[in-house]
Structure 1
């Protein structure tokens, strides 16, 4: 049989273990709450930056959208969706009408993105080319996909090249920034929504806080 002193020693040991586990549990709870707060702060930062940028884009371009046949989405994409203005059918050379639009648009757009409110939030600026899901008279799905992918990439590159080469003071001064952030993506018909706006050009923005949200979700 254990003596009273032995039982007291065991009791003290159990009390010590319980206290240790209590401290571990409290520490874990504090860590979880801290992580939750970080997640909340990142989400709020992303939401606010996205909403503020959307407001800035609308303030700057609202009066031009109808003339350009353009829209600003809730995700801050600017969509130019007038095929007869953008390019000739199956061609990637920018038409003069769209060049005129880009001259009015791009430097004002960049002025917003490089302002102190947003420059540290911008991860990437993309120009996307989008096409229809047909190709002349062919019925080969492979040929339709590959030709449209090549066409959309060429169109996106043409727009990027034209915008980057504009002899505008804002553009010339910020070419180093564009070189780090400006990209051209051919999307073909991967984001086909409807036949009417299949052939379009989109300027999209990826924000740094958006990446942080994705990392948290992982």
Structure 2
């Protein structure tokens, strides 16, 4: 064998080896590209599913919101129809959110006390059975999640004490007042109340709020003590809870 032939074979072998290396590199690259493509396709599939679920959730929330607004509007109309003639006498109001607010602190309780005054008891004797007659009717009964009494106070106290004690004393006072209002309403001897006690036990609540939601003088940062001292009756519809659950799941 000539030397030139030997050199040619060495070059040929080297070229074959390089071609094999390039082929393996190309195959590896193609496999990587295919894997990346599969991952992208899988990600796109997951993204598509998530977008479909988000769209479904959006539609559910929209439908629930439509129902909620309808129920909220109709309840507001029914409450106004029932109580509009009494609101001035009771020093009360019905808000757009269907909160019934009793404002006059001198009618509700003595200063710093949790016992209901006689005038407030008389108001509740008239108000609460009519209120429950609406809420426990076939129209609303199954749509209501909670009826909540909230006691609210000012951010002051009659004695000179620490800011911590002012808060704790007002929290205790507001909770006691809310509890006493609930207890009085629940024990009113009235056919509507008696017929719906089991339902009330599932939905009737009392919360003390202290001064967490103060009312202020018009366009100022000065608390309005008289407006802050109040009792509120709130209704939470089941549609609200459904929306919260959908948002949490999403």
State the TM-score bracket (shorter-chain normalisation): 0.7 to 0.9
Name the Cα RMSD after superposition. Answer: 2.4
CA distance in 1, matches of 2:168, 2:235: 26
Counterpart in 1 of 2:23?
Answer: none
Q: Deviation at 1:35?
A: 3.0
1:153 matched to 2:183? no
After TM superposition, the score normalised by the length of structure 1 is: 0.86
Q: Which runs of 5+ in 2 are unaligned?
A: 1-37, 217-223
After TM superposition, the score normalised by the length of structure 2 is: 0.75
Equivalent residue for 1:169, pick from 185, 191, 200: 191
CA distance in 2, matches of 1:158, 1:28: 49
Q: Deviation at 1:40?
A: 1.1
The answer (yes or no) to whether the contact 2:178–2:208 under 8 Å persists in 1 is: yes
The answer (yes or no) to whether the contact 2:57–2:246 under 8 Å persists in 1 is: no
- What secondary structure does 2:138 align onto? coil
Counterpart in 1 of 2:239?
Answer: 209
Q: Deviation at 1:116?
A: 1.2
Counterpart in 1 of 2:14?
Answer: none
Equivalent residue for 1:197, pick from 227, 232, 235: 227
1:51 matched to 2:81? no
CA distance in 2, matches of 1:217, 1:135: 41
Counterpart in 1 of 2:122?
Answer: 100
Between Structure 1 and Structure 2, whose CA radius of gyration is higher? 2
The count of residues paired between Structure 1 and Structure 2 equals 205
CA distance in 2, matches of 1:32, 1:77: 33
Q: Which runs of 5+ in 1 are unaligned?
A: 1-16
Q: Deviation at 1:34?
A: 3.0
CA distance in 1, matches of 2:51, 2:246: 18
CA distance in 2, matches of 1:26, 1:136: 62
Identify if the C-alpha distance between structure 1 residues 92 and 28 changes in structure 2 by more than 3 Å, giving closer, same or farther: closer
- What secondary structure does 2:209 align onto? strand
CA distance in 2, matches of 1:118, 1:144: 39
